[in-house]
Amino acid sequence: MATPSHHQNPTPSTKKKKTHKNPEANFLYELNSCSKSKDLKAAISLYDSALSNNTRLNQSHFNTLLYLCSTFATDPDSKDLALRYGFRVFDHMMALNIHPNEASITSIARLSAAKGDGDYAFEMVKKLGDYQVSPRLRTYEPALFCFCQKLEAEKAYEVEEDIDKMGLSLEEPQIAALLKLSADTWRGERVYNYLHKLRRSVSWVSEETCKVLEDWFCCKASEIGSDVGSVKEAILRNGGGWHGLGWIGEGKWVVKKGNVEPNGRCCCCGEQLDCVDIDDVETEKFALSVAGLALEREVKANFREFQDWLEKNADYEAIVDGANIGLYQQNFAEGGFSVLQLDAVIKEMYTRSGNKWPLVILHNKRVRALLENPSHRKLVEEWMANGVLYTTPHGSNDDWYWLYATVKLRCLLVTNDEMRDHIFELLGSSFFLKWKERYQVRYTFLKGALKLQMPPAYSIVIQESEKGSWHVPIVCESDEESLRSWLCITRPGGCEDEGKTGSTMETCEIVNGPCCKSSENRNNEKCDDKTTSMTGKRKERSP
C-alpha cells in the first residue's frame, strides 16, 4: 500500500508564514497610512523611530513627510510642529544627497510661505533647474501668494514673469491675487491688464474674485480715455466684447449686480452684451492649422482644389454638414438618408440669412446615390443649380472640408457633431470650444418639424464695451443662464434704467447703488427677444 505524502493538502498550521516587509517598505506603508488619515504626529513619531533604527530613507519617504508637514503648515494648532519638522526633514534629505523633485520643492515652498519667507520659496523653485526638473504652476503658487499678501508687488511680478518664461498659464486664483495686489497698491494699469488676463482665462469668476473687482471699482475714479474711432476699430478687430486700449471715461464707477436677459440685454444698465467672436489673428492661425492637418491626411490635390474653389466662392454665410443631417435619427429598419431633413435645413438657413443659400458639404458617393433615385433627383438637381452642393471626392473625410470652410469663411456651421473625434483633438481644446460656441448651430426634428438651436445671442465672458463699461459673469450653480448674476460696472449716467424703481422695476442685490431687474424676469416670464434669428459674418454684425 502506498504511503500518503505529507506534502499533500497541508493544513493552515503547516503553511509557511509570509515574510515581513523590509523596514524601508514597512516605513513607507505606515507613512502613507498617516498621510491618508492626515495624522502628522503619528508620521513624526514614525520618522523619529526610523532615525533611531537607522532605517534607510529614500525620496518617497521624504516626500510623504514633507507633504504632511506642508499640509499642516497653515493649521494654527500644528503650524509650529509642521514648520520645525518640515525644514528638518528637508535638510536631512539634502544632507543625504537625495535630489528633490517637483513635489519636494512644492512642499518646501509651501512651508516657506507659511513662515512668511516668499524669497526662500521662490529661490527653491528656481533651483529646480539644477536638477533638470520643470516646475508646475502649483510650485510657484506659495511664493506668488506670499508676495501678494505682503504687498511686495515687484517680487510678485517677478514670479509671474518666471511663470511666463516656463510656458505656464496663470489661472483664476493666481490672476485674482495679482489683481488684488495691484488694486491695493493703486496700480491701475496693472489692474486693467489683469482684468483682460482674467477674461482670456475664465468664462466666469468666483465670488471671491468678484469681491476683489467690487472693491477696486467702488473706490477708484479713472480719467484715462481713448479715441472713440480707435476703440470701435479695436473692438471689431478683436472680435467684439473688448478693446484693450485702457480705461475709458471719467468719474466714479457705478457698480451693481444683476441678471442678463436671454437676448443679451443687461438688466442693470440696459446695455446689449456682445456675441464675442474669435479675433483675426487667432482665426487665421486656426484656418492654417486645419488646412495643414487636412493636407497631411487628405489627397493634397483634392483638398487644394477645394481651397481654390472656396477662394472664388466665399460669399456663403452658413455651412451644412450634409451627412450628419441626412442620417439624423435614421437608425431604424426603413431608415436611410433623409433628403427631406437636409432640404428643410437648407431652406431654413436660406430664409434666416435673407435669401442666401448655405453651402452643403456631401460626399460624391452619397450624391450619386441620391441622383440615381428618381424621387430624389429633382431636389438634388435644384440644390446643384443654386450652388448649394460641394461634393467631396472618393476617399476623403467630409469633416476636414466643412470644418475648413466654416473657419475660413467665418460662417455658421449646422451640425450636431460634437467634434470629439481624433481629428478634432489635434486642434486643441480651449480655443476649439470657444470657436464652437460662437459658430455651431444644432438642430432637432420633432415629429418632422425642424428646430434650430442658434449660437447664443451673447457670450458669457468678461466684456468691455466701447463706452468703457464692464460686465463680469459670476459663477452660477444653476444651468439656467437667466439666474446667473453679473457684475455691471458703468460710469454715472451710463445706465438706461437708472432711477426706474417704480412698478415695473424691482431692486436687486446691490454693491454701490440700486440695480434694476425687470419684474418679468423675476416672475420667470419670457423676455422679449429682439435679436435677429441669424448670426451672420463679422462684417454684418451690429457694432
Q: Are 421 and 449 part of one and the same domain?
A: yes
- What pLDDT, in 10s, does the model give residues 166-199? 999 999 999 999 999 999 999 999 999 999 999 9
Indicate which CATH number applies to the domain containing 263.
1.25.40.10
The model's pTM: 0.71
Is 121 part of a structural domain of the chain?
no
User: How confident is residue 266, by pLDDT bands cut at 50, 70 and 90?
Assistant: very high
Q: Are residues 229 and 363 in the same domain?
A: no
Q: Is the residue at 9 inside a domain?
A: no
What whole-number distance in Å separates Cα of residue 418 and Cα of residue 397? 16
Higher-scoring residue by pLDDT: 285, 145: 145
Residue 290 and residue 416 in one domain: yes
> Is the pLDDT at 356 greater than 70, yes or no?
yes
Predicted confidence band at 539 (pLDDT cuts at 50, 70, 90)?
A: very low
Least confident of 69-78, 83-92, 401-410, 419-428: 419-428
Q: What is the pLDDT of residues 135-153, one digit of tens each?
A: 999 999 999 999 999 999 9
Q: What is the DSSP letter of 274?
A: P
Work out how many domains the chain is built from and give that number. 2
415-434: pLDDT as tens digits: 999 887 656 666 665 677 77
pLDDT at 86: 96
Domain match, 297 and 240 both: no
Q: Is the same domain home to 305 and 372?
A: yes
Answer yes or no: do 440 and 298 share one domain.
Answer: yes
Residue range 29-41: mean pLDDT, rounded: 93
The yes-or-no verdict on residue 512 having pLDDT over 70 is no
User: 486-490 and 505-507: which strand pairing?
Assistant: unpaired
Residue 149 lies in a domain: no
Question: Grid coordinates standing for 115?
Answer: 513662515
d(Cα 173, Cα 141) in Å, to the nearest integer?
A: 9
- Which has the higher per-residue pLDDT, 82 or 503? 82
> For residue 309, is it within any domain?
yes
The number of angstroms, rounded, from the C-alpha of 48 to the middle of its chain's C-alpha atoms is 46
Confidence of residue 223 (pLDDT cuts 50, 70, 90): low
DSSP state of 481: G
Quick one: 284 and 360 in the same domain?
Answer: yes
Tallying the residues shown for the chain, one arrives at 543
In this prediction, residues 32-50 reach a mean pLDDT of 93
Kind and range of the H or E element at 172?
helix 172-184
Last residue within a domain, chosen from 399, 422, 453? 453
Same domain, 263 and 306: no
Same domain, 428 and 487: no
Boundary of a domain, candidates 422, 453, 484: 453
Residue 112's pLDDT is 97
409 within domain boundaries:
yes
What pLDDT is stored for residue 331 in this prediction?
73
Query: Over 90: is that where the pLDDT of 52 sits?
Result: yes
Distance of CA 187 to the CA centre of its chain: 27
Mean pLDDT of the chain, nearest integer: 84
Q: Quick one: pLDDT at residue 402?
A: 94
Q: Distance (Å, rounded) from C-alpha 521 to C-alpha 519?
A: 5
Alpha helix locations (H) across 273-373? 280-297, 300-312, 322-326, 339-352, 364-372
Residue 395: pLDDT band by 50, 70, 90 thresholds? Answer: confident
Percent above pLDDT 70 for the chain: 83
Same-domain pairing of 482 and 402: no
Are residues 201 and 327 both part of a single domain? no
Residue 359 lies in a domain: yes
Residues 284 and 341 in one domain: yes
- Angle among Cα 21, 90, 136 to the nearest 5 degrees reads 100
- 434-478, pLDDT tens digit by residue? 788 889 999 999 888 999 988 888 888 999 998 889 999 999 887
Q: Residues 6 or more apart from 97 whose CB is under 8 A from it?
A: none
Q: What is the CATH number for 404?
A: 3.40.50.11980
Domain-located, residue 285: yes
Out of 453, 483, 512, a domain closes at 453
pLDDT of 503 > 60? The answer is: no
CB-CB contact of 245 with 226 (8 Å)? yes
The three cell numbers locating residue 408:
475660413
- Structural domain boundaries enclosing 340: 280-453
| Residue 265: partners with Cβ closer than 8 Å, 6 or more residues away | 271, 272, 273, 527
Asked if residue 320 belongs to a domain, the reply is: yes
Q: Which of these ranges, 11-15, 136-140, 353-357, has the smallest mean pLDDT?
A: 11-15
pLDDT in the model for residue 504: 28
Whether the pLDDT of residue 535 is over 80: the answer is no
What region does 282 belong to: left with phi over 0, alpha with psi -120 to 50, or beta? alpha
